[in-house]
């Protein structure tokens, strides 16, 4: 099932929290000169034009990065994220970087990027958007399986982002099981699972499975732009991070209240939780 295309959703509030966390994790990895691998299991096209028919059809970016571009606060992580997005634009907001382009900002000549995508329209776009660097490898393969084939990496340092479209309900459990299996092969990697809150029960099940897995050092960061509802549609999204940088919890404790203030309705909220201690 390959109907999902991120071009309809680029720059929305879910992207804001996903890419802000990703940027902070990758920035931390560059504190050491040692090389690392970045593995993106569901990459999409990698770069989005906000004037495109897809983005204009939903205009979800207006509720996310569109609002945040007017941020007048002082939170350094938010300002770093905004500056990163601005680096892809002139004066007006016209383009939004997907996770491959966000990652590229932090990958150095000694690092490698691995990008998986199966959608027949997005794969050639991803190849085009990463063709200028030999260290960026695109694979038209299943990212769940692809991840397991790459761990442990030769560098012995890695960041993994897993953000499937969750078109298939089993993807919630598949994401957890794949990450846990990868962790058994490579315990020191930093693993991130992005998730949408459409049905809160599914997220609670993911959390319970991770807690019961035996994996240590798990944190969760969630931005809800409105209260949970039984009606159709995403009300929140978050990032579950295994082996996070030690600075990440404090950063997100300061970031999330600001994002709620900037992007959420009156009944919006955030979660910053240590699911499992180190």
The verdict on residue 213 lying in a domain is: no
The verdict on residue 248 lying in a domain is: no
The verdict on residue 258 lying in a domain is: no
Mean pLDDT of the chain: 96
Mean pLDDT on 76-101: 97
Structural domain boundaries, residue 14: 6-202
Please tell me the predicted confidence (pLDDT) of residue 2. 62
**Ligand-binding site membership of 199 (annotated):** no
What CATH number corresponds to the domain at position 172? 3.40.50.150
**Which residues does the annotation mark as catalytic?**
163
**Ligand-binding site membership of 15 (annotated):** no
Domain count across the chain: 1
The verdict on residue 207 lying in a domain is: no
Q: Which of 85, 78, 64, 70 is nearest to 11 (CA)?
A: 64
The verdict on residue 124 lying in a domain is: yes
pTM of the model: 0.97
Residue 99 pLDDT grade (very low, low, confident, very high; cuts 50, 70, 90): very high
**Ligand-binding site membership of 143 (annotated):** yes
- In tens, the pLDDT along 219-261 reads 999 999 999 998 878 999 999 999 999 999 999 999 999 999 9
DSSP string, the chain: -----GGGTTTSHHHHHHHHHHHHHHHHHTTSSS--EEEESS--SSEEETTSHHHHHH-GGGGTHHHHTT--S--HHHHHHHHHHHTT-SSS--EEE-HHHHHHTT--TT-EEEEE---TTHHHHHHHHHTT-TTEEEE-S-HHHHHHHH-S-TTS-EEEEE-----STTHHHHHHHHHHHHHHH-TTSEEEEEEEESSHHHHHHHHHHHHHTT---EEEEEEESS---SSSS--EEEEEEES--TTHHHHHHHHHHHHHHHH--TT-EEEEEEEE--
The verdict on residue 195 lying in a domain is: yes
**Ligand-binding site membership of 42 (annotated):** yes
**CB-CB contact of 116 with 108 (8 Å):** no
**Ligand-binding site membership of 19 (annotated):** yes
- In tens, the pLDDT along 129-187 reads 999 999 999 999 999 999 999 999 999 999 999 999 999 999 999 999 999 999 999 99
What tokens were used for 232? 């159709």
Please tell me the predicted confidence (pLDDT) of residue 256. 98
**Ligand-binding site membership of 99 (annotated):** yes
The verdict on residue 211 lying in a domain is: no
Mean pLDDT on 37-64: 96
The C-alpha atoms of residue 195 and residue 60 are separated, in whole angstroms, by 17
The verdict on residue 134 lying in a domain is: yes
């Amino acid at each position: 099932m390959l109907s999902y295309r991120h071009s309809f959703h680029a720059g929305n509030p879910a992207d804001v929290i996903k890419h802000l966390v990703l940027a902070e994790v990758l920035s931390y990895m560059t504190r050491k000169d040692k090389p690392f691998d970045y593995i993106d299991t569901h990459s999409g096209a990698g770069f989005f034009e906000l004037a495109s028919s897809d983005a204009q059809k939903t205009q979800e970016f207006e509720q996310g990065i569109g609002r945040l571009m007017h941020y007048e606060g002082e939170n350094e992580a938010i300002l770093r994220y905004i500056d990163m997005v601005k680096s892809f634009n002139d004066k007006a907001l016209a383009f939004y970087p997907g996770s491959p382009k966000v990652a590229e900002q932090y990958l150095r000549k000694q690092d490698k990027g691995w990008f998986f995508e199966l959608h027949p329209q997005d794969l050639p776009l991803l190849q085009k958007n990463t063709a200028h660097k030999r260290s960026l490898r695109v694979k038209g393969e299943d990212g769940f399986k692809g991840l397991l084939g790459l761990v442990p990496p030769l560098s012995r340092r890695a960041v993994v982002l897993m953000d499937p479209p969750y078109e298939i309900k089993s993807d919630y459990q598949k994401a957890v099981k794949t990450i846990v299996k990868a962790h058994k092969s490579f315990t020191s990697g930093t693993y991130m699972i992005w998730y949408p809150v459409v049905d809160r029960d599914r997220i609670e099940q993911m959390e319970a499975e991770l807690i019961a897995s035996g994996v240590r050092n798990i944190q969760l960061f969630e931005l809800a732009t409105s209260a949970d509802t039984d009606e159709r549609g995403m009300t929140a999204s978050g990032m579950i991070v295994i082996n996070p940088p030690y600075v990440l919890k404090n950063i997100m404790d300061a970031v999330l209240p600001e994002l709620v203030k900037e992007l959420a309705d009156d009944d919006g909220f955030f979660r910053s939780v240590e699911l499992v201690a180190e």
